[in-house]
Structure 1
Amino acid sequence: MDSASHVASLAQVIQLAVAPVFLLAGVAATLNVLASRIGRIIDRARLMEERLETAGPELAAELHARLRVLSRRATLINRAIALCVLCSLLVSLVVAALFVSSSLRVDLATPIAVAFVVALLSLAAALLFFLREVFIATASTTFGGARKEKEVIK
């Protein structure tokens, strides 16, 4: 293969890699949101744990209940983060495999497709965990002193 056709082939691979790279940017933004949420959850949990030291029995029971909700929310966000990271790793692998496939003239179409589909499924699962956490956060929020208690918290 002459150098002109090799450059053209490389240019085509770069064009194919653009969409996954944009996906990586979107997942990075999602990870930023998730990291912010887990930070706020941890801060609230620490504050409640400090208040627990001097709380009476009634307040202590309320704080324990809220800490259980925060623990559940943290678990969901951690799962979402793990799945977003998996998605990012798989998309990075897809981009690398595109270049390897083109450079070495090896047919990696099936592994590339499988990795990309698994990446998208990981992202979808991460978004579902995130949505669940948002529902729990909303259900456990006090609006004007009236608490919305629902089974969604459990």
Structure 2
Amino acid sequence: MLPIVTPSVNQLNGIIAAVAAPAFLLGAVAAFISVLVSGINRVVDRAQFLHVVSDGDDSKSYLKADLSRLQRRAVLLNRALFCGIPSAIFTALIIVAFISATFRVAHSTCDGAGRSRESSAHPARDHASAFCANALSPESSGSS
């Protein structure tokens, strides 16, 4: 178990300043996604109404011409939604990265030679070095 590090007041001030912008961005992306979902709901409701209109009803048959426009609108809304959701996820990951950096959550990467880039007497980093060495060994990759 890693020791808990309590940040100083100056560190907290920097953290709040660094996390504020992504937090506001996340709120804006969430509001945008909400608008997109509302638009999709309106398209679906309107399409359901138009499908109920019978072809023999001359007074409302002109409304059926609106279906192709609604279909195109639904496609565009879906594309926007498929771009908006990953942006919300990535923004949330940025916030998590800022918070984890604040509390100095231990992490390491392999340097390609089976060693961790960070070397110290810290047990978590020694474990990371062993993991890097095992991950790059020929036996673990499955190749002969």
Q: Same-fold call, TM > 0.5?
A: yes
Q: Percent identical across equivalent pairs?
A: 31
Name the structure 1 match of 2:31: 29
Aligned to 2:47: 45
How many residue pairs match? The answer is 102
Residue-by-residue CA offset, 1:8-40 (whole Å, 9 max, x unaligned)? 324312220001111111112212221211111
Aligned partner of 1:94 in structure 2 is 94
Q: CA deviation at 1:56?
A: 3.2
Quote the Cα distance in structure 1 between the aligned partners of 2:45 and 2:66.
13
Is contact 2:15–2:102 with CA below 8 Å preserved after alignment? yes
TM-score by length of 1: 0.56
Task: State the alpha-carbon separation in 2 of the partners of residues 17 and 106 from structure 1.
Answer: 20
Alignment of 1:101-140 (within 5 A): 101-104=101-104
Question: Could you tell me how far 1:55 is from its partner in structure 2?
Answer: 1.0
Cα distance in 2 for residues equivalent to 1:86 and 1:70 = 25
Which residue of structure 1 lines up, in the alignment, with residue 135 of structure 2? none
TM-score by length of 2: 0.59
Cα distance, 1:62 vs. partner?
6.2
CA distance in 2, matches of 1:92, 1:62: 43
Q: What are the Cα deviations for residues 39-92 of structure 1, in whole angstroms up to 9, with x where unaligned?
A: 1111110011111xx2139876861x4212211101111111221111111100
Give yes or no for contact 2:15–2:99 (8 Å, CA) kept in 1: yes
Cα root mean square deviation, aligned? 2.8
SS at match of 1:101: helix
Q: Which has more helix, going by share of residues?
A: 1
Runs of at least 5 residues in structure 2 that lack an aligned partner in the other structure: 108-144
Which residue identity is paired with 1:29? A
Stretches of structure 1 that go unaligned for 5 or more consecutive residues are: 108-154
What SS class does the counterpart of residue 103 from structure 2 fall into? Answer: helix
